[in-house]
Amino acid sequence: MHTFLLLLILLSLIIPLYSLPFHQSHFTKQHLHQKNTTSSPQEYFEVTKPLPFDGLNARCKLPILTHNFSNTYGLPPVSVTYSPPINCTWTHVALEIQVSCRGEQYDRIAAVWLSGAELIRTSTAEPTNDGIFWNVRKDVTRYSSLLAQDNLILSVMLENIVNDVFTGVYQANVTFLYYNDNTVIVSPPLLALPSENYRMMGRKLKSLNNPLNLKVNYDKDSFDLEEKPADLIIPISAVGDDGFWFRIQNALDIHSKGVRIPRNAYRAVIEIYVSFHGNDEFWYSNPPDSYFKNVNDYEVRNRNPSDLCASMKKASAERGHGAYREVLVMVDGNLIGSVVPFPVIFTGGINPLFWEPVVSIGAFDLPSYDLELTPYLGMLLDGKVHSFSFQVADGISFWLVDANLHLWLDAGSVEVQARIRSSDPEFSLERELKFQGLDGEFEVEAERKTKTSGWVHSTAGNFTTSILQELKFKNSIKFSNNGTLKLVEQKVKDKSEVRIVSDAGQIIFQTSTERTYPLKITTETLPGKENDTYSMTTSLKNSIEEKKTVGNVQSTLKNNQESSGWMSVKDHEVLSGVANTQQSYSYKAGSECYSRNVAAENGTLLADTTSLLCAISL
């Protein structure tokens, strides 16, 4: 009895990605798979495009960590010492994570850090008795200034609990693959400043004048700010005993770290990693708190066991606070940017039968988000420590957030001059709600627009960088049929522009990125045929569309996923059900094209086609 109570306490505290079974929720599927065994492990995968150097043989390979993550809850990350391979010339680096698991287990969140800088945020798939395995590969070339250094600490966090009920142990192998591709044409860095050996803030870059042996193409039409890795990366993260991420518990919870920026930095980008868990895992489907108060009042007036009021009441104080969330990034208390994250659905979420063997968009490689900070260098290059802070607007427990500050340094100067010229933020937030009984409709719309410019005077000259950020957010939640039918619709549109102009008024560089995240979830929850069970029928549409223009070169990405099915559930356990998922992925950049279409049903891959041909229209 005491063991069982201890188990319940532990399960309520751990990082796993589950929550109460009220419409959007988290489940396991072990009892279902005990009836459907195939004896051989199954490979799971996330649909994405290949890395640009996947066709090459790795010049060097560094297996750095092999570990079984069993009872790791409450323990610090697993850490090893990292040094790059000796006598290995490389231009690109891939991080590869291979994972396998067998038994019953919730999905877990995980991350890899190098000297406190996050390289990847990932999550696990939910295993079966027969076992599953998967492989994640990420291009980590942008972290080259760290990867070139000796004797850094690489840390991996994956909290897990193993006992008589949850038997799955996640077996992970982490490897770095180094490639030397002399055919890759890499554009010059912003302003094309020289680089050399340097020691800055305790970090030593072991390199020559051209540390990555990159060929340079000075055609400004293909000039990409991201193609030359930063000279210095400063992690903006926690101490590390509980992982290097900041754990944000509510809307008033602000986490900060002091950073002193080198005075010869001529460009700055902050890269943000974020994931959402616990009562905010399905933040986009959370009704306002006032709705749950109305549900409780309704239960008092109408005591009807068939109304599912009990489960709604249990969720009232925990799964509300509305559906607007925004990660706010501040420097010295001043807002300098924000992110509304893509709604990644973990493999136990909504309906876990959707995600076998094709996992949801971003589940194995959660996206990070870049904010251009170059115009703000005028307030940062004074040699003082500045406070970088993170907050989640309207957030509830809990969010995991950290960041990497990428800096490009002028090796020809110990100090550059910079000044912020203008900053013009605009923000609006509107909410509407109406409900009667268990039915209701809730809408929230937000818009944010920021125009900022600033100049930097380095050895390359005096250049003004202007950025425009526009965010549009709209969310609608509708309950009908006495609260048993729920419709969630959300659309996020994020647009950013960066322009660099010389003293003479000539446009040196210009880029724009536009992303949209449409999401639609319909869920019907009804009492089941057996006691203490319920049936959930769900349809889901989740996608991301991106259009990026760099000079005169444009790239487009469309990634669309549609799923439907039903399941019979007791507590958080799936007893039976059917599900199907279709996904279409297409990418085009100049003459380069890649598309992939997959279809799966009841855990079986029915179709998987790939093409490198460019369609007439994308």
What DSSP string runs through 244-304? SSEEE-STT--EEEEEE--TTEEEEEEEEEEEE-GGGTTGGGPPPHHHHHHHHHHHHH---
Residue 614 has pLDDT above 90, yes or no: no
DSSP 18: -
Q: Where do we find the tokens 């589940």? A: 363
Q: Please give the mean pLDDT across all residues of the chain.
A: 87
Determine what percent of the chain falls in helix, strand and coil, rounding each to the nearest 5: 10, 50, 40
At 412 the pLDDT is 93
Residue 297 has pLDDT above 70, yes or no: no
Token digits of residue 453: 């410019």
pTM (2 d.p.): 0.89
pLDDT digits (tens, 9 = 90+) for 504-544: 999 999 999 999 999 999 999 999 888 889 999 999 999 99
Average confidence (pLDDT) over 348-361: 97
Going by C-alpha positions, the residue among 467, 552, 456, 541 that lies closest to residue 219 is 552
Residue 44 has pLDDT above 60, yes or no: yes
Confidence band of 140 (pLDDT split at 50, 70, 90): very high
CA 356 to chain centre: 20
Confidence band of 24 (pLDDT split at 50, 70, 90): low
- In contact, 488 and 521? CB cutoff 8 Å: yes
pLDDT digits (tens, 9 = 90+) for 94-138: 999 999 999 999 999 999 999 999 999 999 999 999 999 999 999
Confidence band of 404 (pLDDT split at 50, 70, 90): very high
Confidence band of 298 (pLDDT split at 50, 70, 90): low
Token digits of residue 46: 């996330």
With vertex at residue 152, the alpha carbon angle to CA 148 and CA 154, rounded to the nearest 5 degrees, is 105
- Provide the pairing of β-strand 534-550 with 132-139: unpaired
What percent of the chain has a predicted confidence (pLDDT) above 70? 83
pLDDT digits (tens, 9 = 90+) for 312-345: 445 445 788 999 999 999 999 999 999 999 999 9
At 425 the pLDDT is 87
Average confidence (pLDDT) over 45-53: 96
Residue 600 has pLDDT above 90, yes or no: yes
For the chain, give the number of residues: 618
Token digits of residue 318: 């925990």
Residue 72 has pLDDT above 90, yes or no: yes
For residue 435, say if its preceding peptide bond is cis, omega within 30 degrees of 0.
no
Confidence band of 31 (pLDDT split at 50, 70, 90): low
Domain boundaries, the chain: 2-611
Among the residue ranges 28-42, 125-139, 357-371, the one predicted with the least confidence is 28-42
Confidence band of 572 (pLDDT split at 50, 70, 90): confident
Expressed in angstroms, the distance from the first to the final Cα of the chain is 60
Residue 197 has pLDDT above 50, yes or no: no
pLDDT digits (tens, 9 = 90+) for 408-427: 999 999 999 999 987 778 99
Confidence band of 156 (pLDDT split at 50, 70, 90): very high
At 132 the pLDDT is 97
pLDDT digits (tens, 9 = 90+) for 447-467: 999 999 999 999 999 999 999
With vertex at residue 424, the alpha carbon angle to CA 495 and CA 330, rounded to the nearest 5 degrees, is 75
DSSP 403: E
- In contact, 391 and 248? CB cutoff 8 Å: yes
Which amino acid does the sequence have at 362? G
Average confidence (pLDDT) over 289-304: 70
Residue 184 has pLDDT above 80, yes or no: no
CA 69 to chain centre: 22
Residue 430 has pLDDT above 60, yes or no: yes
Token digits of residue 154: 């690489």
At 226 the pLDDT is 52
Confidence band of 291 (pLDDT split at 50, 70, 90): confident
Token digits of residue 317: 């104080």
| HSE-CB for 93 with a 13 A CA cutoff | 22
| SS3 assignment for 167-216 | CCCEEEEEEEEEECCCCCEECCCHHHCCCCCCEECCEECCCCCCCCCCEE
CA distance 321 to 283: 9
Rg (CA), the chain: 25
Residue 576 has pLDDT above 50, yes or no: yes
Highest mean pLDDT among 189-193, 210-214, 317-321, 529-533: 529-533
